[in-house]
Amino acid sequence: MHVLGLGNDMIDIRRIQASLDRFGERFIRRVYTDIEIAKSERRAARAASYAKRFAAKEACAKALGTGLRHGVFWRDMGVVNLATGQPTMALTGGAAARLAAMTPAGHVAQISLTITDDDPWAQAIVLITATPEALMPAGVGA
């Protein structure tokens, strides 16, 4: 296994609450995927849920080595859950293209994500690794 990128981000939940209060739907639709919106809107701690996902996007952009530039946009990175409930990132657009470009030939990239919150803070850590296709279990990967 090869480490391709590591990113970490921490955000004050009150900052996200302020953006929700000030910009509402415009902020939500600019930053979050439909899956993230549906999940966060069901939460009692709505701002904390959005904050964790915001931190995950920032951490993922750092792990990709681009930040939010070079064709990588907020909605290109979305927090999703595996069947086990474990969170990970689903990438589209420029983020998916960057991941493909940084993944060595004959390898499968995997994004590991941990997110947490403890009011007033939300934090995310993203680790991107690549495993040779030959070492992947049947049915996993590309």
Q: How far is CA 96 from CA 93, 100, 101, 123, in A?
A: 5, 6, 9, 23
- The verdict on whether residue 133 carries a ligand-binding annotation is no
- The verdict on whether residue 25 carries a ligand-binding annotation is no
CB–CB of 111/77 below 8 Å?
no
Q: In sequence order, what are the residues at sequence separation of 6 or more whose Cβ sits closer than 8 angstroms to the Cβ of residue 76?
A: 91, 92, 93, 94, 95, 96
How far is the C-alpha of 116 from the C-alpha of 61, rounded, in Å? 18
Q: Could you list the beta-strand ranges (E) of 18-59.
A: none
Q: Per the annotation, where are the binding residues for Mg(2+)?
A: 9, 58
Q: Per the annotation, where are the binding residues?
A: 9, 58
